Structure 1
Amino acid sequence: MGRHLWQMAQRLARGFQHGKKISPVPWRQGVLAGLIMACLGWANVANASDHADPSNLMGPESNITDLFFFPDGDRLVLIFNVRRALSTKPPYDLTPYTYEVNLDLTTPVSFDNPADVARYGGTVTAPAKLHADAKVRIRLNNDAGLDRIDYEGLQNTADIRTSFGVRDDPFNFPRFYGVNTISMVMSLPRSAFPAGQKTFILWGTTAKDGMQIDHVGRSIRTQLPRFGFLNTIAPNQQLPALIEHSMRTNDLYNFLKGNKQWWSGALADLMETTFLLRKYDNQPDVMIYTDQFKVGYPNGRLLTDDVVAQTCATGDCLLMDLSFIEGGFPRSTTNDKPFLSEFPYLAEPWPEKPPAPPPTRSLTPYIVAAVILLLLASWAVVQGLRFILRHLWQVVRNIYALATT
């Protein structure tokens, strides 16, 4: 539905209908304003991954929070977390979902572009060839314990150490202090991978009934509003999707920027800062780790990495701003609980809190719809008054003309 709204708004912005030029009459501008508001609202309520995304309220166990990957001695540690802001005791609703981490061991990665290295850990030189050479597929019980784990493409799996359950949420952000997450921790021997393997490309997904719901690659990326649409797209298809999305949003942005209406400039500014893709965004959303460089974001991710500050250093500061708004000054740069120095690394969970009333349905779509209807109603009233005043003025002019002849 969101895509169809974008296409309708794009068609009006371009000013063509059946191949003919459309004049920018007021009713079309009003409809376009409503469509753009709907598009922006839809982008905000779409399912997305990472902590600060709009949550899937009816299925929060599908929401990914974090992906970590780092070496510890002669082993590699993989941590995959879901279900943000957890503060209640089991049972949860975990059994319908499949949690999967994919590892691409062969697609080439270049480290020649300093900007890409700083933002993504490297450059995937052939994004269309991204694939999973190895997989870890997990099903959990509703008490957050393991139901089943399957390995594909990994060797020596008997030496893989695992831990599943509720742990402290390791994300350093004020909103998630004092709450827990559901964590899947794996310590893999180097012998699980081909001899001499130095570079890894990773991403995680959640799915239900075979349909992908959420995706995570590089930290915080799909949390940003402009990337929410990537969550159901496979990494090898993300570059074409990014290019197509950029073309659609640029058409609307250029129209809004060139329009003299007050609302148009305001929406253009909102699009530019929040929804418009940047020139450096055309990389698939994956995590890159290589032994060639020191571990730590964006080269893999450590539990202690302050990714809010690190992503802000390369241009994405949404969470940095929010961390000051919600947490005050000085901003905390460490987790609210110390991490463990050994497996399973994450801190013990926080005590349970009384459960909040279960959500029934997100109010956000209704709020967005109300705003759109209010905008269109206000525009209709103004246009009606303008029509009446013009008609009355014409009547007055006609009467005056008759009286003076």
Structure 2
Amino acid sequence: MIALHHRPLGWIAAALLVALVATPVAASDHADPITLDRQEGGITDLFVFPASDMVRRVKEPAGKDQPERTRAVTSKEANRLVIVFCVRRSLTASPPFEGLDQFTYKIHADLHSANEASFQKDDPNLARYGGTIKAPENIDPDFTITIRLDNNTKFVEKDVSIKEGTEWKRPKMADNIQWYSGVRDDPFIFPMFFGTNVIAMAISIPFDCFPGGQQDFLFWATSHNRSTQIDHVGRSQRTQLPRFDVLNTLPPKEHVSALHKQDQDPGLKTDFLRTRIRPVFNLRPYDFQPDVMVYTRRFDARFPNGRQLEDDVADLTCKQGDCQLFELSFALKDPKPYAATGGRPNKNDKEFSDTFPYLADPWPDKDPVPVPQLTSKNQFYVIAAIVLIVLVFLFPWALYFWSKKQLRRLRATLLTRIPQPPAAPGLTPSARPAGGAQ
């Protein structure tokens, strides 16, 4: 609850909050506060993990004191890098999706800045971001995967552009990259989106396509409407948080400077929100890192070192201080299975596959999930508050102009009632000198 101790500020805060409630917003990264004209431009997930011969998990036979289990492929075993990129949350219908063909999706990777990152065990950013980027202003993609889909989610373009000087093994890359696009189950472990689908793109690249000995990578992805960038994702569940909204349209090399500017010289809206609603909008001391996904082969992949499909990122980010989305994940569609424990799901609503493209099969078509609405009583309160605000601000002006109009009418009436001086004897009105009687 927001305490409004000062009456003038309280009225302003109330007005802004009413405006926020009354304004529809569209989400990306599942819950990103940016506004989108079409949900196909909204990024929902980015996963990066290793695989061995297209298999991402292997079975270990039962041992003397251990039952049979399935585990993720380790970095030492892996010979392929897998990238899974998803857009368009809450799908409940099959393609075609009119307008999907106007969007371009890009997956970027920086190899040189990653080589300069810190992975020290005592670095607090290791658990939060996967490492510390020492020179964020130098981040630049060494390769970019560009994807365009038709309205049926099939590839129109799938291209890998390589920065000049990067030592890629082009023939092997061209022959051995695996591609997938289509509608799949939403892999985000978040009850609000259970039972719905996303548009997914999966790419599997042999590690020996990269420069020899490459261990460290920085990944991020963007969506573009025509040529304009409209959304960004790096480390999962970062740009979803309202205080990072400024990062959605900027390249990572500008992220840290933009955050410092937001902290030291905020605009009026940002300054108001960060001081009135501090838990949501105020920057933390650990925020000043670029929004990229760190992946290194020095350790086995698990969020925030890359991201496995099974990683419950809402829970994992909460352990590092950002619990807004973790708390939202208790808003269950069907709380009955968890009522006894008071808990929340910590795994996806469908089992993932161990083989390419790894995501679960899509859900069948159904009616769209209804958006939560205010009760009739509270809708009335919101409308009444808006009307009251309009009256408070507009009534003085309306009164001013009405009074001014009435004064003009009164003046005209008085002028018509003032008697005219009589004409001089012997002169008709038409013969009266122009300057009056002499």
Please tell me whether residue 49 in structure 1 is matched to residue 54 in structure 2. Answer: no
What SS does the aligned partner of 1:83 have?
Answer: strand
The residue number in structure 1 matching 2:119 is 111
Structure 2 Cα separation of the partners of residues 369 and 145 of structure 1: 45
More displaced stretch, 110-119 vs 125-134? 110-119
Please tell me whether residue 83 in structure 1 is matched to residue 88 in structure 2. Answer: yes
Note if contact 2:43-2:86 (Cα within 8 Å) is conserved in structure 1: yes
Q: CA deviation at 1:227?
A: 0.8
The residue number in structure 2 matching 1:227 is 244
Structure 2 Cα separation of the partners of residues 368 and 202 of structure 1: 43
Q: CA deviation at 1:229?
A: 1.7
Structure 1 Cα separation of the partners of residues 235 and 384 of structure 2: 35
The residue number in structure 1 matching 2:43 is 64
Structure 1 Cα separation of the partners of residues 34 and 191 of structure 2: 17
The residue number in structure 2 matching 1:212 is 229
The residue number in structure 1 matching 2:323 is 317
When Rg is computed on C-alpha atoms for both structures, the one with the higher figure is 2
Whose helix fraction is larger, Structure 1's or Structure 2's? 1
Structure 1 Cα separation of the partners of residues 289 and 386 of structure 2: 34
Q: How do residues 1-400 of structure 1 correspond to structure 2 at under 5 angstroms?
A: 29=8, 33=12, 37=16, 41=20, 49-54=28-33, 56=35, 58-73=37-52, 74-92=79-97, 93-107=99-113, 108-112=116-120, 114-153=123-162, 155=170, 156-249=173-266, 270-326=276-332, 328=335, 329-354=342-367, 374-375=388-389, 377=391
Over the matched positions of the two proteins, sequence identity in percent amounts to: 43
Could you tell me which amino acid in structure 2 is paired with residue 345 of structure 1?
Y
Q: CA deviation at 1:208?
A: 1.4
Could you tell me which amino acid in structure 1 is paired with residue 160 of structure 2?
Y
More displaced stretch, 329-338 vs 299-308? 329-338
Note if contact 2:234-2:292 (Cα within 8 Å) is conserved in structure 1: yes
CA shift in 2, pair 1:276/1:330, >3 Å: same
- Unaligned 5+ segments in structure 1 are 1-24, 257-266, 359-366, 383-405
Per-residue CA deviations over 1:179-215 (Å, capped at 9, x if unaligned) read 1000000110012211111000000000012110000
TM-score, normalised relative to structure 1: 0.75
What SS does the aligned partner of 2:224 have?
Answer: strand
Query: C-alpha root-mean-square deviation of aligned residues, in Å?
Result: 3.3
Q: CA deviation at 1:159?
A: 0.6
Structure 2 Cα separation of the partners of residues 308 and 214 of structure 1: 20
Note if contact 1:250-1:276 (Cα within 8 Å) is conserved in structure 2: no
Structure 2 Cα separation of the partners of residues 252 and 91 of structure 1: 39
The residue number in structure 2 matching 1:363 is none
Could you tell me which amino acid in structure 2 is paired with residue 132 of structure 1?
P
Could you tell me which amino acid in structure 2 is paired with residue 111 of structure 1?
F
Per-residue CA deviations over 1:146-192 (Å, capped at 9, x if unaligned) read 11111112532221001110001000000111110000001100122
Structure 1 Cα separation of the partners of residues 383 and 82 of structure 2: 45
CA shift in 2, pair 1:356/1:288, >3 Å: closer
Give the count of matched residue pairs: 336
TM-score, normalised relative to structure 2: 0.69
Note if contact 2:18-2:385 (Cα within 8 Å) is conserved in structure 1: no
Could you tell me which amino acid in structure 1 is paired with residue 29 of structure 2?
D
- Unaligned 5+ segments in structure 2 are 1-5, 53-78, 163-167, 336-341, 372-380, 397-438
Q: CA deviation at 1:236?
A: 0.5
Which one scores higher on RCO, CA 8 angstroms, separation ≥ 6? 1
Q: CA deviation at 1:35?
A: 11
CA shift in 2, pair 1:45/1:333, >3 Å: same
